[in-house]
């Protein structure tokens, strides 16, 4: 009974402390809510959008390393002022002055590209129309390359990334980031070349990487006639919403996999139609691809 009494008193004390914290927090910050109106919300959202677009623009460029260096300088400047390191503070102050003069010169190409994108409206993202056209052109080029590969019985595996990111698989291969053409695809899968083995990952009309490693399917009911390339094509669709295209190096058969299922023996016309349905933005998706045999 004495233990229960101690626990009850302790719990009551905790509740009092929590109540005091909530009361103090509300009394301190609640008055500021009266200044929040629709215009303030729009202002905050606009600033957040600009910051997001800037971060997306500098992602993967030299500016990322620049930001890391600037962050270290800010930390060093703060610490030097906090601990009254006058010599270090003077040195960092001169460094900031030199940086503001040198940065526009060093990053002149990036700044020019950013202003050009802003002038073209590219800062606010590519329009759905442009993305749709890029994908249509890419589908035509891939179908044309598939015809060549199938006729020559050259094995190929192409993964179409959709909403689910595939960065871990892109990192496992060789990054390319090139505009998709039939000639590029044929050269990538040319036998006895460094990029022949593995998968090519494409997105929005560009080949992001080649020679990528993909997970194998764990479905035990698949035909024994399906080799590693086909099992990898099915496996990636089990782990994401991607669509994968396979050309058999033994028979030249064209197959398409989605949602863990595969359709084999597609003609060029059927392939282009299915890719249009599955890849193009806003297109009506047909759902799961039926498990073809043959």
- By DSSP bridging, strand 206-212 and strand 243-247 are unpaired
Q: Which residues contact 253 (CB under 8 A, 6 or more apart)?
A: 150, 247, 264, 265, 294
133 & 266 share domain: yes
Split at pLDDT 50, 70, 90, the class of 12 is: low
Q: Name the domain count of the chain.
A: 2
Split at pLDDT 50, 70, 90, the class of 37 is: confident
Percent of the chain at pLDDT > 90 equals: 38
Name residue 256's beta-bridge partners: 245, 263
112 & 40 share domain: yes
- By DSSP bridging, strand 261-264 and strand 156-160 are unpaired
114 & 190 share domain: no
Contact 251, 151 (CB under 8 A): no
Residue 284 in domain = no
Give the pLDDT confidence of 114-152 residue by residue, as tens digits.
676 666 555 555 544 456 778 889 999 999 999 999 999
Widest CA span in the chain:
87
* CATH value at residue 186: 3.40.1700.10
Domain end (from 93, 123, 153) = 123
The DSSP code sequence of 162-190 is -SS--HHHHHTSEEEEEE--HHHHHHHT-
214 & 78 share domain: no
Residue 146 in domain = yes
Among all chains, which residue has been given the structure tokens 């006895």? 192
User: pLDDT at residue 286 above 50?
Assistant: no
Give the pLDDT confidence of 156-215 residue by residue, as tens digits.
999 999 888 888 899 999 999 999 999 999 999 999 898 988 999 999 899 999 999 999
152 & 115 share domain: no
Residue 286 in domain = no
Contact 253, 282 (CB under 8 A): no
Give the pLDDT confidence of 47-59 residue by residue, as tens digits.
998 888 777 776 6
226 & 265 share domain: yes
Domain end (from 123, 157, 185) = 123
101 & 143 share domain: no
How much is the pTM? Answer: 0.57
d(CA 221, CA 201): 26
Domain end (from 99, 123, 147) = 123
136 & 237 share domain: yes
137 & 263 share domain: yes
Residue 69 in domain = yes
Residue 294 in domain = no
177 & 109 share domain: no
Print the domain residue range for 240: 128-279
66 & 145 share domain: no
229 & 96 share domain: no
Query: Which segments of the chain does DSSP mark as H helices, in order?
Result: 2-29, 38-58, 62-82, 86-106, 108-120, 128-152, 167-171, 182-188, 228-239, 268-279
Residue 190 in domain = yes
Mean pLDDT of the chain: 81
C-alpha distance across the termini of the chain, in Å: 77
Q: Which residues contact 210 (CB under 8 A, 6 or more apart)?
A: 173, 174, 176, 188, 195, 198, 199, 200, 201
Residue 18 in domain = no
Give the pLDDT confidence of 89-121 residue by residue, as tens digits.
899 888 888 888 887 777 776 677 667 666 655
């Amino acid at each position: 009974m004495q233990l229960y009494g101690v626990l009850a008193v302790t719990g009551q004390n905790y509740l009092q402390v929590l109540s005091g914290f909530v009361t103090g927090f509300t009394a301190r910050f609640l008055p500021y809510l009266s200044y929040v109106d629709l215009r303030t919300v729009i202002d905050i959202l606009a600033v957040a959008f600009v910051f997001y677009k800037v971060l997306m623009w500098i992602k993967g460029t030299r500016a990322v390393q620049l930001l890391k260096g600037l962050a270290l300088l800010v930390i060093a400047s703060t610490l030097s002022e906090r601990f009254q390191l006058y010599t270090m503070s003077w040195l960092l102050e001169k460094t900031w002055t030199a940086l503001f003069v040198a940065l526009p010169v060093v990053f002149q190409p990036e700044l020019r590209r950013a202003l050009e994108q802003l002038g073209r409206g590219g800062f606010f993202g590519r329009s759905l129309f442009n993305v749709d056209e890029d994908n249509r052109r890419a589908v035509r080029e891939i179908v044309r390359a598939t015809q060549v590969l199938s006729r020559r019985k050259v094995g190929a595996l192409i993964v179409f990334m959709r909403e689910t990111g595939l960065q871990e698989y892109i990192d496992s291969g060789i990054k390319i980031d090139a505009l998709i053409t039939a000639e590029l695809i044929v050269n990538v899968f040319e036998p006895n070349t460094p990029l022949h083995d593995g998968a090519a990952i494409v997105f929005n009309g560009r080949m992001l990487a080649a020679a990528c490693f993909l997970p194998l399917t764990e479905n035990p009911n698949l035909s024994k006639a399906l080799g590693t390339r086909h099992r990898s094509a099915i496996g990636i669709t089990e782990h994401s919403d991607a669509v994968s295209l396979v050309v058999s190096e033994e028979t030249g058969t064209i197959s398409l996999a989605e949602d863990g299922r595969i359709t084999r023996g597609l003609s060029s016309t059927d392939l282009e139609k299915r890719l249009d349905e599955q890849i193009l933005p806003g297109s009506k998706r047909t759902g799961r691809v039926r498990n073809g045999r043959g």
